[in-house]
Amino acid sequence: MMDYTIPKKSGASFHIDEGESFEVTNPEGEQIADLVAFNRHNVSEKYSQAYTRHMNNKLRISTGDSLYTTEGNPILTITSDDTGVHDIMYGPCNEWMLTDIFPDEPGGCRENLYLAAKPEGIEEEDVPNTLNVFQKSMVKGEDQELELGRSPADPGDAVEFEANQDAIVAVSACSAAGEPNGDELTSIGLKVPDYTTLHGASIQNEHNH
Ligand SMILES: [Zn+2]
């Protein structure tokens, strides 16, 4: 496997073959990573946050649960999970959201994911709602109000995914400064098969597993 770093407030994309695995890691802890996936042979079929809630029949997924596509097919399955807390209710942070809060730093995960996946022919409007890895969201009370908490990810936490089909995956180190991302925005790590080509991430070092 190869280790890569996605620098803070940026994204990366890569190919993963059916049956192969990769990991999203949290080098410094408390950092959210937004993730999307596309069917590599037909990118109009892509991760669907809504059908992932529906098919798993829950609002939080972990080991043994799959991410489903717009066509209802599993595309990635979580096979190992140190953190156990990930969000499938919120959309990716994005330019209109962050421009209001941080006018000097426009651009968020939606833009990071688009820029990373652009070499694969993905258009900005094609970026779907995300799996927000390491993000803690809660549903409270009878009115089912949504609330975000601080990411519970510890430094070094990893989530392993196995591909259920040939896929393009894009991951963003979340750009939204605030408590859900801990005290400061940091990088996200990726471990991918040796032959993998990434767009947008910097190589960290090489491991043989
Ligand atoms: Zn974000």
Per-residue pLDDT averaged across 67-81, rounded? 98
Distance of CA 179 from the midpoint of ligand 1 (Å): 12
Distance of CA 36 from the midpoint of ligand 1 (Å): 12
Q: What's the total number of domains in the chain? A: 1
Give residue 208's pLDDT.
39
139 band by pLDDT with thresholds 50, 70 and 90: very high
Distance of CA 199 from the midpoint of ligand 1 (Å): 19
CB within 8 A of 206, min separation 6: which ones? 2, 3
Distance of CA 209 from the midpoint of ligand 1 (Å): 31
Q: What is the pLDDT of residues 38-72, one digit of tens each?
A: 999 999 999 999 999 999 999 999 999 999 999 99
The number of residues making up the chain comes to 209
Locate 177 and state its tokens: 């400064």
186, 202, 48, 149: CA torsion to nearest 10: -10
Distance of CA 128 from the midpoint of ligand 1 (Å): 13
Q: What is the pLDDT of residues 146-164, one digit of tens each?
A: 999 999 999 999 999 999 9
Distance of CA 83 from the midpoint of ligand 1 (Å): 18
Locate 209 and state its tokens: 């597993």
C-beta of residue 40 within 8 angstroms of C-beta of residue 15: yes
Domain around 41: 2-206
Distance of CA 10 from the midpoint of ligand 1 (Å): 10
Asked if the model's pLDDT at residue 207 lies above 60, the reply is no
Distance of CA 132 from the midpoint of ligand 1 (Å): 8
Asked if the model's pLDDT at residue 136 lies above 80, the reply is yes
Per-residue pLDDT averaged across 17-36, rounded? 98
Distance of CA 135 from the midpoint of ligand 1 (Å): 10
